[in-house]
Homo-oligomer: A and B are copies of this chain.
């Protein structure tokens, strides 16, 4: 490892813990103060987790609506029994967040995106989607969301591995100016994972479809991050793309300020200096493990890192049954 990396102040595990920062229920270290309340579908499937502040606002909202859209008890909040279809749940949730947005009740809702995310858990529905909701509101419901990240790398003629890294535009509403993977985004309700990554690669990094389509799925990370906006259990599918030496990703849609091509020591140094958006650092750490750069003999937290970046999130996914 180069001189640069030696001067860094964080371990890889420190960076993992910054992202996967929600307490584990079985951990003696961190079991304090879990006052968050599960959000259940009408069929009792747990789909989210609510902060006490959200529950309080929901009580206010619920009181004024007849019939009450939610059943609010000390131990859970549940969709009322009449909200038993995709359409009915989606409509009620839309009305709720439209109201809260107008009332400017939660800062999270100021970043409205007009982008719908699917919430899974309705085994009656052929696609298992219980409802869809506005992307920026998901931390208020603490629902599991899905995205896709792309590692863009090259190999020099001497076989040296290098990685393309994006610097987020200063105008981004979240994490402006932080480092990022070359492509990262949510998965729109209407696209599958591979279609999403190809679309984003063209929009965010000006890669041609011919190149973008060579991206291959290799992994996924899952973690649970609590931020000022709320609770965010997240899963990110990970793709790798070897970018030809004569191709350069270029900013296109204003999301990225510029791209850097760094050797792996430089990438590591910037991770350890805490300059990456936390979940993007995890995507690179996963790459470093798969490419034998982080290995069991040089990293005492090898196993802990792998477990923490693949956190079991106790919420439904596309798969029909609860695992």
**Which chain B positions have C-beta within 8 A of A312?**
24, 307-308, 311-312
Is A190 an interface residue, CB under 8 A from the partner? no
**Which chain B positions have C-beta within 8 A of A301?**
317, 319, 323
Contact (Cβ within 8 A) A310 B300: no
Contact (Cβ within 8 A) A222 B307: yes
- Chain A facing B: main interface SS: loop
A290, chain B: closest CB distance, angstroms: 5
From B46, B297, B304, A323 is in contact (CB under 8 Å) with B304
- Given A29-B322, A289-B218, A302-B220, A307 and B310 touching (CB < 8 A)? yes
From B216, B217, B290, B313, A219 is in contact (CB under 8 Å) with B290
**Which chain B positions have C-beta within 8 A of A322?**
29
Q: How many copies does the complex hold?
A: 2
From B27, B295, B303, A235 is in contact (CB under 8 Å) with B303
**Which chain B positions have C-beta within 8 A of A216?**
292
From B218, B307, B318, A290 is in contact (CB under 8 Å) with B218
A-B contact pairs, 27 of them (CB 8 A): A26-B26, A29-B322, A192-B297, A194-B296, A217-B297, A218-B291, A219-B290, A219-B306, A220-B306, A222-B303, A222-B307, A235-B303, A237-B296, A290-B290, A300-B320, A301-B317, A303-B317, A304-B317, A304-B319, A307-B310, A307-B311, A307-B312, A307-B313, A307-B323, A308-B312, A309-B310, A310-B310
